[in-house]
Chains A and B, each alone.
Chain A
Amino acid sequence: MRARRSASLHAALFLAPAILLLLVFRVIPAISALGHALTDWNGVGPPQYVGLENFRALLHDPVFRQALRNNLLLVLSVPLWIAVSLVLALLLHHEIPGWRFFRGSFFLPSVLSPVIVGTLFTALLRVDGPVNRGLGLAGVPEQDWLGNPATALPTLVLVILWSVFGLGVIVFLAGLAAVPQELFDAARVDGATGFAHLWYVVIPALRYVIEFWSVNLVVWSFTSLFAFIYVMTAGGPGYATMLVEYQIYEQAFKFNRMGYGCALATALLLLVFGLVLLQVRLMATDEDGA
């Protein structure tokens, strides 16, 4: 009995620093933001309680609607981000010529800061930049990739894909390493090649890794693209690349509307939570049905 109590005490002590850090830097700020979402607060003076007024304003905010639409369009590109990483991981797993070089070079963009990636691509994509010059050689007329509302968001999707696919490749390579080689050999003997091999063998074998990575990417697409937007487009032209997380920054820090910024953050939290819950449910249902 005494030994068990002592073990519990030890466990509590070892857990205490982590719990304390989580409480101080995650839980308490999140609760504080929830509270401030119900106030009119400029970040300096005392907050004034306004009830659900910020949430009512949010429902009528055209910028929020545009930002949400852009976020959802980004989520639609998540399958592309997964597919590219998965196919490349499979090629590396099968040790195509130069696979060691490719493994290193694919991962390289993942270790670069989004600010560096954003700055680099902003220069590359200028109207008089190398991308347009290269395309010009093929007869493609020059484009203002980041200055045209029709191309700005798709261009961002591709830049983000370039930045993140390497990490996906590593995740899928780790997953593939855990799949018994016999499974691939048996599939090959049975004549499964190309798309059939990918669809009927690889994807089922990597199901849980794909689930894990897709949940990660969905959360990431809502919460971690600020630096790309800040450096490359600042949400423009107009509101063409405005995302909810960038709007939170603008409202809270540019317009001194901390209360409204907190309401936006709360809405984003609930939205991401709901989407992830739905995603996990759908996957679980599919698994049960399978």
Chain B
Amino acid sequence: MARTARTLAPLATLVLALSGCAPRQAAAPGPAGAPRPTATPKAQVTLTVWDWHAADPSKGIGLWLADIDRAFQAAHPGIRINHVAQSHTEYYEILKTAAAAADPQRGPDVVMLHEGSRVLDQRQSLAPLDKYVTPELRRKIAGWELVSDDYDAAKTPWAVPIAVQGLVWYYNRGLLRQVGLDPEHPPTKWADFLAACDALRKAGKAGIAIGEKEGFWADWFLNSAYFQTCSAQDRPRLRAGGMKWTDPKLLSVMERLQELSDRQCFRKGALSTPLFPDAGEVFMRGDAGFFLGLISDVAHWKEFGDMMGPENVGVMTCPVFQDGPDAGKFPVGGAFTYAITKWSLHPDEAFQYIAFVANDENARTFLTNVGSFPANQTYDHSLIADPNARQIAQWLSEKRTGPQLGDMLPTAVGEAFRREAQSMLAGTTTPSGALEAVEKAAQESRRRGE
């Protein structure tokens, strides 16, 4: 009997231990929609903020965010910021896990998201921001259409844009001079651009530094070039199915991409080279004449200016192959935003934090210290010293911009385009074959209601 009791003792302990866990589990909030424990009034509030920029608080955006956190906590003694850096590569996978757990004790209150479909795809996990976004905020900040229902700035916003992102073409002035071109007048026409690539190749350099391992470069090219063939009305038509991917307007863009490959404008090994940081490094080393890059964060005027000297870098928009409705424009979108999770116990404090990040002073330091364009448009243009940044700011103020095509596409369709473009550049499919496959993916995506 005693032996049996000794044997059962550990089992009983285990059962007791498990049952001891039970009350805490019962009290823990369930998935979104389940009752939440109420916050203790007047208690110190801790806001957990997730993003992919906070990994290195010693420089760049990481330092900018760390400074903001300190300033915010000083101005709001009752709120503590717990800034958690997450991997950019797996960010949305990690976020999905957090959304499935919907744990207000451990999950984030504020999350960084890319503009466009990345925000709208997460709506189930986010709190709507209608009651927080004031008319003044709407006036100051650009990009509301990329974070609002149906891509309509007048409808419910789900995030606050913090930065402005866009795609422009950078060129190496020295290399252009070396091959007999005038860097003050870069080749903005398609035929001239191809001729410049030929000249660079003959001089032992690559025309364009490209990294297509992830398929992003083709995506960027599409976003950069589609203005020349598509009108503003074509974008929603493409998403809704009114315009097919096989439309001659898109086929023309795809054929230009193929032409760049056929003319050997790309550096060898493009399909196994990552875009970040490898392709950018090729450009900064002076091994290629052109780079399709960003206007904020990375692979942009500041990074190139710091490495090559601003006087050696030039900026232009996509070379024009067709004088379409918006030729000469460049795409903006895909920058980072901040949103509030649905399960946060402190949505008011969370929005206080987001509004603080997006305020006028932080917009100014984002431009001057980080070297990126803020979504808050109140900054003083005279603060910009870099000539390329000045040029971009001028284009922004002249509204020579349009939305990125990719921002409105469901993730699966974007991925299908990237993979088919890779196959095309590898020579296993044609421009029309690639677009037919993307069209099938788009039809399947619409059928699923994405």
User: A residues engaging B (CB < 8 A)?
Assistant: 6, 9-10, 13, 16, 40, 42-45, 62, 122, 125-128, 142, 144-149, 233-240, 250, 253-257
**Number of A-B residue pairs with CB-CB distance less than 8 Å in the complex they form:** 103
Complex formed: what's the CA distance from A16 to B15 in Å?
Answer: 13
Q: Is the CB of B419 within 8 A of A148?
A: no
From residue A192, how far is it (CB to closest CB) to chain B in Å? 46
Residues of A within 8 A of B423 (CB): 149, 237-240
Question: Which of these, B4, B100, B270, contacts A9 with CB under 8 Å?
Answer: B4
The smallest beta-carbon distance between A120 and chain B, in angstroms, is 14
Task: Report yes or no: A238 in contact with B429, Cβ–Cβ below 8 A.
Answer: yes
Complex-state Cα separation, A126 to B212, whole angstroms: 13
- Say how far B114's CB is from chain A's closest CB, in angstroms: 14
Closest A residue, CB atoms, query B272: A147
B272 near A253: Cβ-Cβ < 8 Å: no
Establish whether residues B415 and A234, one from each chain, have CB atoms under 8 Å apart when the complex forms. Answer: no
Whether the Cβ atoms of A236 and B4 lie closer than 8 Å is no
CB–CB A127/B272 < 8 A: yes
Given contacts A144-B268, A238-B429, is CB(A10)–CB(B7) below 8 Å?
A: yes
Which residue of A has the minimal Cβ distance to B420? A238
**Residue B10 CB within 8 A of the other chain:** yes
Interchain nearest-CB distance for A37 vs B (Å): 16
B82 at the interface (CB under 8 A from A): no
Q: Which residues of A contact B411 (CB under 8 A)?
A: 254-256
Q: A45 to B123, alpha carbons, bound, how many Å? A: 11
Chain B 404-431: CB-based contact to A (< 8 A → 1; otherwise 0): 0000001110010001101101101100
Interface range, B side: 35 or more
Chain A contacts for B437, CB-based, 8 A:
62
- Is B96 located at the chain interface by the 8 A CB criterion? yes
Task: Bits for B91-118, please: 1 = Cβ < 8 Å to A, else 0.
Answer: 0110010011000000000000000000
Q: Let me know if B419 and A253 touch, CB within 8 A.
A: no
CB proximity of B50 to chain A, nearest CB, Å: 16
B400 in the interface (beta carbon within 8 A): no
Cβ contacts under 8 Å, B415 to chain A: 250, 254-255
Tell me if A237 and B10 are in contact (CB < 8 A): no
B198 at the interface (CB under 8 A from A): no
User: For residues 194 through 248 of chain B, which have their beta carbon under 8 Å from a beta carbon of chain A?
Assistant: 212-215
**Does B325 reach chain A (CB closer than 8 Å)?**
no
From B11, B96, B214, give the contact of A13 (CB < 8 A).
B11
Which of B11, B93, B125, B426 has a CB less than 8 Å from the CB of A149? B426
How many angstroms between the C-alpha atoms of A238 and B419 in the bound complex? Answer: 4
Please indicate the chain B residues that have their CB under 8 angstroms from the CB of A235 in the complex. Answer: 419
* Contact A44 B99, CB 8 Å, known A9-B4, A9-B7, A255-B415: yes
Query: Can you name 7 A-B residue pairings with CB atoms under 8 Å?
Result: A13-B7, A13-B11, A43-B99, A128-B268, A144-B269, A234-B213, A237-B423
Which residues of the other chain, A, contact B124 by a CB distance below 8 angstroms?
42, 44-45
The 9 closest A-B pairs by CB, nearest first: A127-B269, A147-B271, A238-B423, A147-B272, A146-B272, A237-B422, A253-B93, A237-B271, A255-B412
Q: A253-B96, A255-B412 are in contact. List 13 more A-B contacts (CB 8 A).
A: A9-B4, A44-B96, A126-B272, A127-B273, A144-B270, A148-B271, A234-B214, A236-B422, A238-B423, A238-B429, A239-B419, A240-B426, A256-B121
Distance from B119 Cβ to chain A, minimum over Cβ atoms (Å): 14
- Which one, A6, A40, A147, A254, contacts B269 given CB within 8 A? A147
